[in-house]
Structure 1
Amino acid sequence: MGSVAFAGLLALLVAAAVVVLGSDRLDRAGDAGAGLAASSGPPASAIGGGPPAEAPPTPQPHDWGRIPSEAVVALNLRKPPRSGLLVDATSGRVLWRHEPERRLPIASVTKMMTALLVAERTTPREPVAITREALAYTGSGVGLLPKGKRAQAETLLYGLLLPSGNDAAIALAQHVAGSVPRFVRMMNARARELGLSCTRFASPSGIVDRGNWSCAPDLALLAQELLRVPRLARVVRTPLAVMPLPVRGGRVWLANHNPLLRAGYRGADGVKTGYTDAAGRCFVASATRGRTRLIAVLLGSPDPGKQAARLLDAGFAALANSPAHN
């Protein structure tokens, strides 16, 4: 199924997302776990506090589309995520869902859009300036970027997607758009082009929860778009990368936060984790077996690695036993 048809099916799930008002807040951003070259920023108290937030309701809710009532994957999670979705990316078929219409903060999952724009507008060896603003990041970071020097765009792209570097996000945004605010406008314009109807970005990193949100169907579609780009598909399936960087030794080790890749899950090939206090633990996971790729989206999950593995296992099993799929 093409991206238009896939987008059309997912749009059925996001039409008329009616959610409750949430509090404005800024949170500590970064991902659970730490890359080998990742470092931590200041504590949450230095950025802001407050209860978990949801996005404001859509201004003009629309009627829901026709959604199949039967569940392809019958899986009950004892402690479900705040929102979740399992999609057969090959056909666009929804296999499992849990409150997919909720518009929620998404933390560093935001970096999927940042990476897409960077890949569309840079070449791998293109030099990117490491600015003072990039080194003033908060939350997770590559942590070794040398002030005033230039790093290859590909090194920063790996730093963005593997250890979820907020420093890399700022440097890349400034390089592509000239400033972070202009890059955020580009992110939102690209979201509209892709038909991401419940998505809004406020930063290239996801460290800002206020005004930065999406929903599970939009994120599944964004992940599919990212995985269509060979350069990005190669990055997100890499467990550990050694990349050139103008520091002592001339290179940096970058470890992927993806819990499926770390666990050696069969077929795991992406995509992005995220965490803030407001968003909780988020994970957009992809796995491919044969000609079938499944995408799982978990927002606010108590254990995204284990839940994603259970969903993907159930999805592959259900499709293997499905005459229509065979």
Structure 2
Amino acid sequence: MRRIVVLVLAAAVVLLTAGLISQRLDDGRPDTAAGADGAPDAPAPPAGAAPDDGVVADAPPTPQPHEWGRIPAAGGELDVRFRKPPRAGLLVDAGSGRVLWRLEAERRLPIASVTKMMTALLVAERTKPREPVPITPQAVAYTGSGVGMLPVGRRVQTETLLYGLMLPSGNDAAIALAQHVSGSVARFVRLMNARARELGLTCTRFASPSGIVDSGNWSCAPDLALLGRELLRHRRLARVVRTPLAVMPLPIRGGRVWLANHNPLLRMRYAGVEGIKTGYTEAAGRCFVASVRRDGRRLIVVLLNSPDPGRQARRLLDAGFASGAG
């Protein structure tokens, strides 16, 4: 009799344990409590962090007030399909406003270093090319991509840092420029979000001047296309983003730094390419905003979390220019 009671109790413990494990798996959480180290459950991701599918979890529905936000749900004019499509994308004629192709264009996603388009815009609006920018310890303590040779305690021309920001996607340049323009990175981020509101970028939010922080940093394809068009209205920025390789003054040994552009269309020597910006983080994937001008037409393509942004952008642009006048 005692053996039967023991067997019943053991079976109950097994069933209860299995039920708890099943509940944890159904909730999408790892079964850390069952581990040998007795570790507690993993904490919930911070607000604004992208879940596994890359979609921003805490962003409200996307309002669409500007012209490239009012996009028919059925899509654009071109039937271009990819075996491995981006998470979101858009091809628009910047002159006529025609939406030539779209894919989940209203989806809010992390945007990585595409963020630097707004940083560059604010720098161009508020500085002069030869304005000296102090390089702080915070700037050289960057993570991710960088110019990598900025001399702490010295002053560097704004234009050198602007090229370093947009060509090799320097996070160190982003910090130095943000501190120079606003006095601190936090104040610069507030300025970024205020400028986004002025431009009508209603599905956009910035959390850093570089985009290295994915949490709380997101946008959608129509907003990024509009931001790209605004950037190109500044001759200073248009000159920067179309440059394949720049040799700029820097107060280091030799006095110069070589800066290579990450833009895949420039590397392909795609006809008419004007820039604009690439980006990558693990959460955002490969992101790309590009502008190409041919025969008086300007097409802007946006790809978010693309497996091959260069090839996909080229295919869309080829189809767009083949489709006729805007």
Which TM-score applies when normalising by structure 2? 0.81
Answer yes or no: is the 8 Å Cα contact 1:119–1:231 preserved in 2. Answer: yes
Amino acid at match of 1:251: R
Matched, 1:81 2:82: no
SS at match of 1:319: coil
Matched, 1:233 2:238: yes
Counterpart in the other structure of 1:223: 228
Unmatched tracts of structure 1, length 5 or more: 1-21, 28-48
Of 135, 139, 152, 2:140 maps to: 135
Distance 1:244 1:212 in 2: 32
1:93 partner amino acid: R
Match of 2:275, SS?
strand
Corresponding residue SS for 2:305: strand
Structure 1 residue 276: Cα displacement: 0.2
Aligned residue among 297, 303, 312 for 1:307: 312
Per the TM alignment, residue 72 of structure 1 is displaced from its structure 2 partner at its CA by: 1.7
| Percent identity of equivalent pairs | 72
User: 1:51-130 counterparts in 2 under 5 A?
Assistant: 51=52, 53-56=54-57, 58-59=59-60, 67=72, 69=74, 71-130=76-135
- Which has more radius of gyration? 2
Question: Structure 2: which amino acid aligns with 1:319?
Answer: G
Partner residue, 2:7? none
Q: Which secondary structure state, in structure 2, belongs to the residue aligned with residue 86 of structure 1?
A: strand
Q: What secondary structure is seen at the aligned counterpart in 1 of 2:193?
A: helix
Q: Which residue of 2 aligns with 1:35?
A: none
> Aligned to 1:163, what secondary structure does the other structure show?
coil
Counterpart amino acid of residue 54 in structure 1? V
AA at the equivalent of 2:56: A
The one-letter code of the counterpart of 1:246 is P
The verdict on how the C-alpha distance between 1:66 and 1:254 changes in structure 2, with shifts beyond 3 A counting, is: closer
Return 151-160 or 282-291, whichever deviates more.
282-291
Distance 2:264 2:107 in 1: 24
User: Separation in 2 of the partners of 1:129 and 1:289?
Assistant: 40
Matched, 1:148 2:153: yes
Q: Distance in 2 between matches of 1:130 and 1:68?
A: 47
For 1:161 and 1:122, locate their aligned partners in 2 and report how far apart those are by CA, in whole Å: 16
Give the number of equivalent residue pairs.
279
**Equivalent-residue separation in structure 1 for 2:300 and 2:134 (angstroms):** 34
The 1:135/1:72 distance shift into structure 2, 3 A limit, reads same
Corresponding residue for residue 191 of structure 1: 196
- Identify if the C-alpha distance between structure 1 residues 131 and 70 changes in structure 2 by more than 3 Å, giving closer, same or farther: closer
Match of 2:300 among 291, 295, 299: 295
> How far apart, in 2, do the equivalents of 1:151 and 1:55 lie?
36
Q: Identify the structure with bigger relative contact order (alpha carbons < 8 Å, sequence gap 6+).
A: 1
SS of equivalent residue, structure 1 residue 223: helix
1:286 to 286, 291, 298: 291
1:167 corresponds to: 172
Q: Could you tell me whether the CA contact under 8 Å between 1:223 and 1:284 is conserved in 2? A: yes
CA distance in 2, matches of 1:181, 1:294: 34
Question: Secondary structure in 1 aligned to 2:101?
Answer: strand
SS at structure 1 position matched to 2:99: strand
Q: Which residue of 2 aligns with 1:16?
A: none
Distance 1:215 1:66 in 2: 12
* Structure 2 runs not aligned, ≥5 long: 1-43
Which whole-Å CA distance do the structure 2 matches of 1:205 and 1:70 have between them? 31
Q: Classify the secondary structure of the residue corresponding to 1:192.
A: helix
1:178 to 174, 183, 187: 183
Per-residue displacement from partner, 1:272-324 (whole Å, max 9, x unpaired)?
0000000000000111102101000000000000000000000000025xxxx
Q: CA deviation at 1:60?
A: 6.3
What is the TM-score of this pair, normalised by structure 1?
0.81
8 Å contact 2:212–2:281 — kept in the other structure? yes
